[in-house]
Structure 1
Amino acid sequence: MRKFLDSLYLGAAWLAALFMIGVLVMVLLSMLGRTLHFYVPGTDAYAGYAMAGAGFLALAHTLKSGEHIRVTLIIGKLTGGARRGLELWSLTVAVLLAGLLAVYAWRLSWQSHQFHDISTSADATPLWIPQILMAVGTTVLLIAFIDEWVLELQRKRLHGHAETRHE
């Protein structure tokens, strides 16, 4: 299971990297178009979709790599059961919030599909397509938080800056 989860987080990160390349391609295409006097409709919109996709898809890997910003002012001074209790409480809240975010991201995508909602820019892209990236990214983040919560319950979670583990 550990190997599958780590592959899931890494796969989402690689997909995020591909979307960052997509942002670069759209920006370069737009610049080239201005320089050579041709217009490619939707480059700004697609760059935005790719940027949002990259951001959401990278969330879980960032969490599992210990790179999310974490305020440790209080928890850093605690030890033993008090620290573990606060860690579990924090992770429980994170799981609940990530779960809500994932549910509402999927709901938004589904409603956009049902209502045939399209982009107001020149590309007229059905909005459920880029919104799927947000839904997938938040779902993988939810899985990562559940993973962290289970590891904390099992006392296998590493604390510190780099929280990656290889078992």
Structure 2
Amino acid sequence: MRRFLDKLYLVSGGVAAVFMVGVLVAVVMSIATRQMGVHIGGLDAYAGYSMAAAGFLALAHTFKSGEHIRVTLLLSALPAKGRLRLDLLALLIACAITANLCWFSGKLVLDSLSFNDISTGDDGTPLWIPQIAMAVGTLIFFIAVVDETIRRMRGIPEAAHREEKHYE
């Protein structure tokens, strides 16, 4: 199971990187076609969809890599047992928040599908299509937070954060 989850987070991060390239391609195409006097409708919207997909799909990989911003000033001042308790409390709160985000992201996709919502821009894209990346990204992020919470409850120490590695 560990290998599967680690692979899931890695693949999610890789797909996020592909969407970042999509942002680049859409923006460069938009600039180039404007210079040539050609209008391709929806390029700005697709850049935005790609950026949102990249952001949401990168959440789990970033979290599991220890790259999310974390204020460790209070944690470092506590004894080991207090640090663990505060960390678990924060992770449990994060579980509740990410579960909520995951639920409402999925509901948004279903609502957009049932109401036949389409983009108001030139592209006319059914909105449930780009919203899928948000729902999938939040689901994988929720899994990652629950995974980390379970690991910490079992006494498995967290991976060292990169910002802390620089000073050790």
Q: TM (normalized to structure 2)?
A: 0.94
Contact 1:148–1:157 under 8 Å retained in 2? no
1:113, CA displacement in angstroms? 0.4
CA deviation string 1:103-145 (max 9, x = no partner): 0000011100000001000101000111111100000000000
Q: What displacement does 1:78 show?
A: 1.0
Match of 1:144 in 2: 144
In structure 1, list runs of 5 or more residues that go unmatched. none
**Distance between the aligned counterparts of 2:160 and 2:71, measured in 1?**
12
SS of the aligned residue for 2:12 comes to helix
Match in the other structure for 1:43 = 43
Task: Work out the percentage of aligned pairs sharing the same amino acid.
Answer: 50
Q: CA deviation at 1:37?
A: 1.2
* Alignment partner, residue 65 of structure 1: 65
1:82 shift after superposition: 1.2
| Cα drift, residue 161 of structure 1 | 1.4
Q: 2:116: which partner in 1?
A: 116
CA distance in 2 between counterparts of 1:138 and 1:82 reads 29
For 2:112 and 2:84, locate their aligned partners in 1 and report how far apart those are by CA, in whole Å. Answer: 41
RMSD value, Cα: 1.2
Q: Which stretches in structure 2 are left out of the alignment for 5+ residues?
A: 164-168
Counterpart CA distance in 2 for 1:149 and 1:156 is 10
The aligned counterpart of 2:84 is 84
Local SS of the residue matching 1:74 = helix
CA drift of 1:159 comes to 5.3
Aligned length: 163
Which residue of structure 2 lines up, in the alignment, with residue 26 of structure 1?
Answer: 26
